[in-house]
Structure 1
Amino acid sequence: GLKDKDGTVRKADLVLYSPGITGPGWLEKTCIAVSPGGHVDVDQYGQVKGLKNVFAAGDCASHENPPPWVPHQAHMAQLRSQAVAKNMNAILNNKNPCTTYRYELSCILNMENDGMWMHMSSDGKPPFWNIFPRRSKKLVRVKNTFERLYLLYLRYF
């Protein structure tokens, strides 16, 4: 269920988180290719379509031919940024970009005193070598710890 700010608990059979994410509004006024969703239109290597040696990654960029479940999440932005960095390095070394990224949706749903790991990936690999259960009260603690570590990683690395 859901707990409102005032503490009211609302029972629910399903809670679906679905933010309306679009690209930046100013993008339409530039020469940069725009996807139907309003994001920077890129190819499988993160190169902006129609602009040689220009790359985009992260929440501003689209995915080329993604599975329907692919999210615009920080984790996906990280995977895409790593691929784009390698492709930019290839260009700087007079090579063709060749690094793509795997699609992945991975999140722990915190349900007050219970947790459920929701995971899908383009290669079918489970998260963290499948060492965690799909549903457990302990996943709430795992999620909180992982979020703290991830924020430290983003801040210092």
Structure 2
Amino acid sequence: MRIQGTSSPSKHWHFTTTEDGPKPMATAPESQSLPELVGGLANDITKLIRGEVQLAKTEVNEKVSQATSGAAMLAAGGIIAFSGFLILLLAAVFALANVVEPWLSALIIGAVVLIVGAVVLMKGKSNLSANNLKPERTIHSVKRDVELGKAEMTR
């Protein structure tokens, strides 16, 4: 990556990006030969691609960790809720059996629990959807790099 900085309208410094950060160039791009410029461009593109790949790896690892955590919490919450519901459901069946037949009481309570369970499962599934797991920063960064590359090529 080449950066041109100025402190006054007549003075220019040229920098190249290295692994240690920006470094002043020994010669200005205007005085370099075509092979030197192409070599520098290839080096810069390689560094850019490596940086983008590293960003993608980091972001995918974050998303996988997020998905794993969400799935584990979903499972743990389901087991805990199931245990508590068993006791509460039994109590609800016994209470409702005082008003209606015991078999009808169990049927009513069972239907209500199935509806609640379906809602919870749908919410868990939406948390694990592909849109929530997309590497957004990497996609944005690559698009920006492509646009900058196109702009540089049209100069």
Mark yes or no: TM-score above 0.5.
no
The structure richer in helix per residue is 2
The alignment's TM-score, normalised by the length of structure 1, stands at 0.28
The alignment's TM-score, normalised by the length of structure 2, stands at 0.28
Rg larger in structure: 2
